């Protein structure tokens, strides 16, 4: 049987408070882990760009802002 998102939401609504709290803690941990994975992948990509010489350091605030706005 395949549950839809609506089925899952309805099932959550029917849970007792303790189970909802436990589910929230589980989801919080999952979201943190997923974000950590995204950050790690971004770091690895940035380091590879640095090693290929595609990035250059600067302390010029105007240059930093230009680069951020171009992204």
Q: What is d(CA 42, CA 30) in angstroms, rounded to the nearest whole number?
A: 18
Q: Domain extents for the chain?
A: 5-70
Which pLDDT value is given to residue 61?
Answer: 94
Answer whether residue 1 shows pLDDT above 80: no
CB 23 within 8 A of CB 15: yes
pLDDT tier for residue 19 given thresholds of 50, 70 and 90? very high
Q: What is d(CA 27, CA 3) in angstroms, rounded to the nearest whole number?
A: 18
Which pLDDT value is given to residue 26?
Answer: 98
Which pLDDT value is given to residue 50?
Answer: 93
């Amino acid at each position: 049987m395949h549950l839809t998102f609506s089925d899952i939401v309805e099932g959550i609504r029917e849970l007792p408070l303790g189970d909802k709290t436990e589910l929230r803690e589980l989801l919080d941990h999952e979201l943190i882990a997923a974000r950590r994975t995204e950050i790690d992948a971004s770091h690895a990509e940035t380091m590879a760009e640095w090693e290929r010489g595609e990035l250059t350091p600067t302390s010029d605030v105007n240059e930093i802002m230009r680069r951020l706005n171009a992204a």
